[in-house]
Amino acid sequence: MPERLLGRLPLLGLLVAALFWVLDAFVDVSLFGTHDTFAEALLKPNSHELWMRCVVIVLLLAFAWHARRLGGQLIDSMNRLNAQEQELDGHRDMQHVLRRQADELNRQVMRQANEQEELRKLAYIDPLTGLYNRRRIEEILDASRLTEQLSGTGLGVLLCDIDHFKSVNDEFGHFAGDRTLVRIGQLLKDHFRRGDAVGRWGGEEFLVVLPNLTQAEAEVISENFRARIEREMHPPKGKLTVSLGLAMIRPDETAESLLKRADLALMLSKQTGRNRLYICECEAGSEELSSPDGCRPFNFAVS
């Protein structure tokens, strides 16, 4: 539409020029009386009137042509702006599409990360207590044993067994037993150091891997845990205690041998009255593994 109007500007200039010629002739007859008739003033102007009319007509036509040229430039600029706006709109639409695709990709990545985390928990975490399961705690023990062989900074394992746990299930039900296991697991995680690994070994037994500490330090922290359980655990009837078996790794000892010595110490804790800590100090692979001679109960004076 604007292009059509610009194309008619010269014709409009001619029409205005013709109208000016007629109006000037009318003024000459009616106001100035330079001619006797309107036809004479229109068709036979004198030299002064002709010159003035021609100058005005030329100016009008020049203005029309100049306006057409400027209008064309303005329309071209507007068209370029419109094209740029359309291009920008296209970029915005593309950015919006890319942003939506990026958001969807982020959601998929987060979903996959959550699924992988759930799979990791299923593979390594005990679903009841939230502790490491047996498979994972064995892997951690193997890795800790290799580290200890290189650094020589000490490594211990502690086996924990809930005393008379079967009676808790029999008297108060399995839900009470589950709550007891969960609470013991929470106390284990809270009591031991951040670098220690706590796992559910099976049933009512737990395993704690204790890296980077001496035997005396391991004995004290383990005994303090036993006393804490006796002090803080209060079932509906009676009291709840734990039996503990501790063993410190020997040079070139395997994880299997270390666990056997800790299990021997735990067995002696239960056989001698429960609610106590035994330490197995027999050598790895010795015949003493089948007898209690290399184990002793915890004694603050010795530690």
3-state secondary structure the chain: CHHHHHHCHHHHHHHHHHHHHHHHHHHHHHHHCCCCCHHHHHHCCCHHHHHHHHHHHHHHHHHHHHHHHHHHHHHHHHHHHHHHHHHHHHHHHHHHHHHHHHHHHHHHHHHHHHHHHHHHHHHHECCCCCCECHHHHHHHHHHHHHHHHHHCCCEEEEEEEECCHHHHHHHHCHHHHHHHHHHHHHHHHHHCCCCCEEEEEECCEEEEEEECCCHHHHHHHHHHHHHHHHHHCCCCCCCCCEEEEEEECCCCCCHHHHHHHHHHHHHHHHHCCCCCEEEECCCCCCHHHHCHHHEEECCCCCC
Distance (Å, rounded) from C-alpha 199 to C-alpha 58? 103
CB atoms closer than 10 angstroms to residue 78: 11
Paired tokens of 296: 């002793």
Give bridge partners of residue 206 from the DSSP assignment.
Answer: 160, 200
230 labelled catalytic = no
Q: Which of 204, 205, 219, 223 is catalytic?
A: 204
- Give the separation between CA 134 and CA 124, rounded to whole angstroms: 8
| Cα gap 253→86, rounded to integer Å | 76
Residues classed as catalytic:
204
